[in-house]
Every structure is written in structure tokens, then in C-alpha cells.
Chains A and B, each alone.
Chain A
Amino acid sequence: MDFSWLANPLYLGFLWKGFINTIVLVVVSGAFGFALALGVAMAQISGPRPLAWTARAFTTVIRGTPLLLQLFFFYDGVGHLLAEFHGLHETFLWPILRNGFFYGILAFTMSNGAYLGEDLRGALLAVPRGELEAARAFGFGRFKAFYRIWLPHAIQIGLPQLASEAILLLKSIPLVSTIAVMDLLQAANIVRDSTFLVYEPLLLITGIYVALTLVLTVVTRIVERNFPGVRPTASRRGLLALLTGMRRA
């Protein structure tokens, strides 16, 4: 094992940039994905038939195909179609549309939105109807009843699934290295190509991912434990148990 390359500021710079990009990708696609998931879930619960059908089809397609394929579908497929509209080349959008990072966020947002949408749909349907009727009886409008009563309770019910989706999102980030975005894996690839060390950079970022997963797991557990209305006994588990339940099950 030879880790002397870590002293080289050039490689450290790549790793740092990869680390920051990984965090940015998780946060941005997580936030957009949640917004999309809300739309997808509500469209299926109370949307008009065509909208509900579209949301259903969207979730089925996204959940039924590999994320790597989706990434290339957006990056190469949609990217090349957009390139044929020559009018776009002069607009401010063009530099964004040439950027792998943008397609990474797009693909992760879509994917996260679809999986999260299914979780949210289940959670929203699990909220007792009587609570909504009570809200309406108190004179809440449809919108206010949704964001004051229905959604908060659904989030509380679906919290374990939301937490595991966050970890899954983190674990899918290395895929962007295939569309030439500088993430941790891409940084490791660069180190490998210039130092001819195969295992060391890969093992280092494996360690970083294990640490990140652990941190995210601990954070989500703390949120879960302190969420208003959650009885603390439900989520008090050991550190090893924290690492279980980290995939869609």
C-alpha cells in the first residue's frame, strides 16, 4: 500500500473538489427530488386521471430501468437532441446544457423524485382521514390543511424511508464519474491514471464513503429521534444497527 501521493497538493485538490461536488449533488438533487416527489405523490393521490397516469408511468419507468442508463439517456440522448436546436447555442442556457454536472443533477433529481414519490405516496395515504376532516372542520383551506396537517404527519410516518433514500442518493453519486463529472470516484480515477496505483485511491474513497454514510445515518437518526411527535423508543438502536436498512427494501 502506497499512499505517498496524498502529499501531492494536485491530487488533494482533485479529491477535495470531488468531495465538494459529491455533497453539492446530494443536497441539490435531494431538495429538487423532494419537490418532484411531492408532485408525483399528490398527482397520484388526488390529481386528475391523466396527470395521475403520467405520474404512475414516470415512477414505473424510472424505477424499472438502471440509473446509469438514465444518466446517459439525459446526458447523451437529450443532450444531443438539444444540440440540434441551433437557436439554443446563443442563449445563456447553452453553457449549462453542455455541462455534465447539470445532467447529473437532472438524472439524480428524477430518480430520487420517483423513489421518494412512492415512499411519500404511501406515507400520505397512511395519515388518518379524520385528521384532514378535523382540519377542514376548523376552517383550514385545502392548501393549509395540506401543509400544516397532512404533509407534516406524512413526513413523520415516512421518516425511516426518507432517511434511507438520502443514503441511497449518496451511494449513487459515483455514477456521475462516467459522464466526466469530477466526483470522488473521478478523482480516484485521475490518481490511478497518473500514478498507476489501482487499489490505494479506490480504497481511500471507499473509506470516505463509509464515513459519509455513517455520518448521514447518524444525522438522520438524530432527526428521526427528535422529530415532533415521535416516541423515542422506536429509533434507539446501536451503531451497527445504524448501518442496516440502507437500501430500498
Chain B
Amino acid sequence: MIGMSNEGLIAWSGPLLAGAAVTVEMTFLAYAIALVIGLLGATAKLGGPGPLRAMATLYTTVIRAVPELLLIILLYYAGQQLLNNLLQGLGYSDINLNGFATAVGVLAVVEGAYLTEIFRGAILAIPRGHIEAADAYGMSRGLRFRRVVLPEMLPQALPSMYNIFLLLVKDTALVSVVGFNELFFTSQQAAASTRSYFLFYSAAGALYLLMTMGSNVVFRWLERRVTRHRPAM
């Protein structure tokens, strides 16, 4: 029973954990960037000038209609070129992104589209009077966002934000297709070289499950925190 021997697992446990660490790093960085994209996108869609709003709508519509794998392949190859064209247009010199930065950027652009829609919906759910009250108190835009919009939007948005986080963890596996070395790529190499496919895919699955279930604890804590002002149902 080749498939059940686990001597290879000990030898490969180091690389597998290193791959898992890359996946975690990618997830956190991409999520942070996607949150910023989402907030900017939602702001553009809700109150931006016409052209900006149209661009944000095009962005969310196209990204959400195309399969993630296809987007990742396209953006992984074309992203670097697009970025350099943009930089040249602005008069800067080319930069050379490494695989990690490209992968993080691509994942952030993809998930940012979904977060844009989530934030837009959550901001729209805030009673209009609360925003007007903030304005009446003479709050600046920044202060209004920090004191009124953000605390009122988060309880609404958090469950969907958690869903996007889970999707992001799982979508990181897709960058293995363009040859980037993360958890799934490592498990593929381990499986192919030891011929213990069943074992290594199960091990990788267990690590992914650990990440997704572990993040559940964090988001549950966050949800309790942001809803602490709400009356008990």
C-alpha cells in the first residue's frame, strides 16, 4: 500500500509547513489590500464623480463574472505589464515584481471587487439621519468615517467579510497553477515525488481546514466586539 505509507510525511513536513506559512502570509497581505480596495471602491461607487463611479462599476462587474482561475492566470501574466505601462505613462521607470508580490496583488484585486459590493451594501444600510447628524456636528469626512460610518457598517458587513476571507484562503491555491510555490504547490510536489498522493493531499487539506476553522474563532471574536453596543436580540 504505497498510498498509506507515511515515512515521506516526516521528510516533507518542513516544506509543507513552510508552504502553509506562505499561504497564510499571502492571505493576510492580500486581505489587507483588498479591504483598502473595497473601501475605496465603495466610496467611489457611492459618492465618487461620474467617471470614477463608472470605472468602479466596470471593475466589480467584470471581476465577478469571470472565473477566478482565469482572472488569476490573466492578471498574473498581464498584471506586471499593465503596471509598467501605467508607471511609464506617469513618467516613472519600470519595476520588477517578484512572484509573491504579483500573487498577492492579483488576489487582492479579485477579492477587492467582492468587498467593494459588501461595503457598498453595508454603508447603504446606515440610516441617512446618522450621517446627517454627524455633518450637523461639524465632523470632518475622516472623523465621520471613523466615528459613525465604520462602527455602524461593520456589524452588517462582518459576516460577508468572513466569507470573503474564507474564499481568499481557498483561492490562494489557484496561484499554484501559474507555478507559484505555496501550500498546494508544495503538496503537489511532495505527492508526485513520493507517489503518496492520498496522504499528501489529505495533509494539505487538514492544514487548509485548520486555517479556515481557526479564522472562524477570530471572526467570531471580532463580531462580538463590533456588535457589543447592540441591544441583545
Known: A244-B64, A246-B64, A246-B65. A73 touches B205 (CB 8 A): yes
Q: Among B9-17, B70-78, B89-97, B99-107, which stretch is in contact with chain A?
A: B70-78
A226 to chain B, nearest CB (A): 24
| Contact between chains at B167 and A247 (CB < 8 Å) | yes
Contacts of B61 in A (CB 8 A): 240, 243-244
A117 to chain B, nearest CB (A): 16
What is the chain B residue whose CB lies nearest that of A203?
B74
Interface string of A38-72 (1 = CB under 8 A from B): 00000000000000000000001101111111101
| Contact between chains at A84 and B213 (CB < 8 Å) | no
Query: Of B67, B70, B78, B166, which is in contact with the most chain A CB atoms at under 10 Å from its CB?
Result: B67
* Any B CB within 8 A of the CB of A235: no
B173 to chain A, nearest CB (A): 4
B71 to chain A, nearest CB (A): 8
B110 to chain A, nearest CB (A): 10
* Any A CB within 8 A of the CB of B43: no
CA distance A63 to B215 in the complex (A): 13
* Any A CB within 8 A of the CB of B84: no
Q: List 28 A-B contacts (CB under 8 A).
A: A60-B209, A64-B208, A64-B212, A65-B170, A66-B170, A66-B172, A66-B208, A68-B177, A68-B184, A69-B201, A69-B204, A69-B205, A77-B202, A84-B2, A174-B70, A178-B177, A185-B73, A198-B77, A199-B74, A202-B70, A206-B74, A210-B62, A210-B65, A244-B117, A246-B65, A248-B163, A248-B167, A249-B118
**Shortest 5 CB-CB distances between A and B: which pairs?**
A66-B173, A77-B198, A76-B197, A64-B212, A73-B201
Contact surface of B with A, Cβ cutoff 8 Å = 1-3, 57, 60-62, 64-70, 73-74, 77-78, 114, 117-118, 160, 163, 166-167, 169-174, 176-177, 184, 187-188, 191, 195, 197-198, 201-202, 204-205, 208-209, 212-213
Contact surface of A with B, Cβ cutoff 8 Å = 60-61, 63-70, 72-73, 76-81, 84, 170-175, 178, 185, 198-199, 202-203, 205-206, 209-210, 213-214, 240, 243-249
